[in-house]
Amino acid sequence: MITHPHIKLILDSARQYREQQLGIEGLQQNLSAVMSALEGDVAKEIHDALRKAEAWVDSIRFTVNEADRPAEVGRVLDELEGIVRRFYR
Amino acid sequence: MLSRGVPLAQVTLASDSPGNVVNVEMEGGTAEVTLGHTGPVKLEAVPASAGLKVKLHQFDLRALALERYSDVQQALNEASWNGRDDLAEAVLKATSDEELARVPKSRDGQWALARLCEEVTSGYVSDEEHKQAQRVLRAWAQHVGLERFSRAVEDKRTKVFPVRKSGPTVRAPVSPAVRASPDGLKVSLSSKVAEYPEWQALKETHFHIPYDEVVGVRLYDAGGAVRYVPALFLVEVSNAEERNTLQKCGEMFALGLTLGLGGGAGAGGAAASTLAWCDRAAVGLGLLLSVVDDHRGEILERYGEEGARFLQATDVLASLVAFYGLGRVAVALPRAVQGLRQAYLGMKASKAALSSDEVLLGRIGHGVDELLDQAEKASKGGEVIPIERARKPNLPPAVEEQPLRATGTDVRLVPLGQQSAGPRAVASPGGGKPPTPLSPAAPSLQGTRPAGAGKASAPRPSTELGAAKGEGRAGRLWGTWDGYPKVTVGGREYAQIGERLYTRHAVERMMPRGLTTEGRSMSPNLVEDAIREGTSSRVVVDGVERTIFRSGSVEVVTEQGGKLVISVNPFKY
């Protein structure tokens, strides 16, 4: 079970987004907050993945039709979660 | 001078001698007349009425300023009990800020100042008396010094006194009883203090506190906020008989104390209308404190330890800023400002945000961002704004709606109604096509870039936006949202940077990392380079055409061919 609060926030946010409890803006804010909080305090792979995911989510917000966003964001989150779970089994 | 129609004395004043005070005390068959003066004055007896003795005393109200502290003590001793507060107020008013700052440096000065503070905060406290008490506190804080003060607020051993004034629904009121003495304050607490968490650290009910000590006061009547203060503040706390009096004391932490203008802030009354200006830093602090103090319980309940850490960071910063100003704190103690940010991020990250959390966190985050923004500005010599804006930090600044500015290759737009009688302003689409008259409506995409159907396409064509011509890099300053001029287009507000208009979201993403959560350290010049030198593609998002510029890992999402910058991403690829 993952107990690291920031990593947990990433996974919880991803789940909440998929369950439509969290909008894309809230998801991005959470990723931004975790990214800032984890600066220098987490494996580089995770931080890079987080940084990339946050940028992609922001990009999707403004460049993808609303109806298509969940699928696009889902792919980004799949990749991010995959990397995170490799470090926190 | 008459008393009940009986002549007592004759006072002759110089014409330029304002602020004089006369106190008369009748006891038995004796009238004690005390004249406090600030300049040349003559106090003379007149033939006494039968059976009435008159004693005359003169006191120079400038005694404190002139460091004649024993005179101050004597005057206070001789004044009647109901005239001492007026005398103390007059003495403080006759002492300039610079002179007041010297007083706490000597032991006798401290004792005199403590007594004056005791008098001006006793009984009914007028706005003027409150103002003078704040001046004393401020002078004392300057004497303690920012470094020592900050060490004290971070020291877990610093005493924190619980304060809850009595009221019909208060089961365990507690407030320190304080008496000033030559070598410090004698503080005692009722046994009710044992019912408060602070008791665990205090463990005693009687204390002797040197004047130079910094203490904390947990204001339970103000949501449990802790404010760190020079010990002398305990005198004011002790004298505050009513909750609203104490709340008035607490409000100074949000507004005005740093300028010595806090009396009456938020309390209305005559003094409020005399408050003309306030440190802009108070806007950010006021915004944050108004949200945080209203939701302390909620923050603790939802965020536990991280919430407590955030509240502590807020309390520390509020106390430091109240006495030393945000600019000075930001420069001398950046860790206090950054500590607040880190605490906020920690709190935010500690719990998955549900929709109900988002509202509160969003408001707090806005307050933190605003404060950090003001800290940055204040550290560079903050500006001054009207107090009205400081009190209503949520009000957006007035925005004057303007038409868009030029984006054509070789033309400039002027605001509507200001066109010259010459040829109409036009935008050239380049490529040899005829120029198109410009209109205030959002123009269509200019330029000849082929549609890229969502894929990266040709490099930026030679048709450049107006910003590119004749404008140096200095025209695109890297600042905060509040610092840029605003333009409203289609009911939406944009920041104007160079010749482009940026959404608030874009500006916040461009901010230096560390200053805001969203900041990605992307300067306007980097955005400009990406637009000018990068590749572009066009997409239609829910009916809105957007142009995406890419350069390396940088992505800039725009509308109207680059005129409106919607978002920026420095690490997209």
Asked whether the beta carbons of residue B546 and residue A32 sit closer than 8 angstroms, the reply is: no
Please report the pLDDT score of residue B213 as a whole number.
93
Q: Does A44 touch chain B (CB under 8 A)?
A: no
From CA B343, how far away is CA B325, in angstroms rounded? 21
pLDDT higher than 90, residue B169: no
Q: Look up the ipTM and state it.
A: 0.88
Q: Per residue in B439-463, is it b (16+ CB within 10 Å) or e — as a string? A: eeeebebbbebeebeeeeeeebeeb
Q: Which amino acid is at B175?
A: S
pLDDT higher than 70, residue B145: yes
Q: What does the DSSP assignment read for B76-100?
A: HHHS-TTTHHHHHHHHHHTS-HHHH
**Of B179, B201, B204, nearest in space to B189 by CA:** B204
Asked whether the beta carbons of residue A58 and residue B345 sit closer than 8 angstroms, the reply is: no
pLDDT in tens, B259-300: 333 333 333 332 222 222 234 455 566 667 767 877 888 888
From CA B359, how far away is CA A59, in angstroms rounded? 23
pLDDT grade for B160, boundaries at 50, 70 and 90: very high
pLDDT higher than 50, residue B25: yes
Please report the pLDDT score of residue B421 as a whole number.
39
Give chain A positions within 8 Å (CB) of B349: 5-6, 9, 30, 33-34, 37
pLDDT grade for B75, boundaries at 50, 70 and 90: confident
A42-46, B255-259, B333-337, B526-530: which range is least confident on average?
B255-259
Which residue in the set B350, B546, B569 is minimally distant from A55, CB to CB? B569
- Cβ pairs bridging A and B (under 8 Å): 81
pLDDT grade for B494, boundaries at 50, 70 and 90: very high
Chain B residue with minimum CA distance to A47: B571
Asked whether the beta carbons of residue B349 and residue A6 sit closer than 8 angstroms, the reply is: yes
pLDDT in tens, B373-422: 777 766 555 443 333 343 333 333 333 333 333 333 333 433 444 444 33
A47-56, B72-81, B458-467, B490-499: which range is least confident on average?
B458-467
Q: Best interface-test mutation with A: which of B303, B364, B369, B567 has the largest number of A CBs within 10 A?
A: B567
Q: What is the value of pTM for the model shown?
A: 0.52
Locate the domains of chain A by residue range: 5-87
Please report the pLDDT score of residue B491 as a whole number.
82
Q: Does A79 touch chain B (CB under 8 A)?
A: no
A16-30, B40-54, B522-536: which range is least confident on average?
B40-54
pLDDT grade for B4, boundaries at 50, 70 and 90: low
Quote the minimal CA–CA distance from A45 to chain B in Å.
14
Write out the residues of chain B at the interface with chain A, using a CB-CB cutoff of 8 A: 306, 342, 345-346, 348-355, 358, 509, 513-514, 517-518, 539, 541-542, 546, 548, 555, 557, 566-567, 569-572
Please report the pLDDT score of residue B445 as a whole number.
29
Please report the pLDDT score of residue B522 as a whole number.
83
Q: Does A74 touch chain B (CB under 8 A)?
A: no
Average pLDDT in the B176-185 region?
Answer: 90
pLDDT grade for B489, boundaries at 50, 70 and 90: confident
Asked whether the beta carbons of residue B567 and residue A59 sit closer than 8 angstroms, the reply is: yes
Give chain B positions within 8 Å (CB) of A32: 517-518
3-state secondary structure chain A: CCCCHHHHHHHHHHHHHHCCCCCHHHHHHHHHHHHHHCCCCCCHHHHHHHHHHHHHHHHHHHHCCHHHHHHHHHHHHHHHHHHHHHHCC
Higher pLDDT, B131 or B469: B131
pLDDT higher than 90, residue B358: no
Which residue in the set A5, A34, A62 is minimally distant from B567, CB to CB? A62
Asked whether the beta carbons of residue B541 and residue A65 sit closer than 8 angstroms, the reply is: yes
Helix (H) or strand (E) holding B526: helix B524-533
Q: Does A68 touch chain B (CB under 8 A)?
A: no
Give chain B positions within 8 Å (CB) of A55: 555, 569-572
pLDDT grade for A5, boundaries at 50, 70 and 90: confident
Which residue in the set A26, A51, A63 is minimally distant from B353, CB to CB? A26
Chain A residue with minimum CA distance to B351: A9
Higher pLDDT, B208 or B222: B208
State chain B's mean pLDDT as an integer: 72
Please report the pLDDT score of residue B526 as a whole number.
87
Give how far the C-alpha of residue B59 lies from the chain's centroid of Cα atoms, to the nearest Å: 39
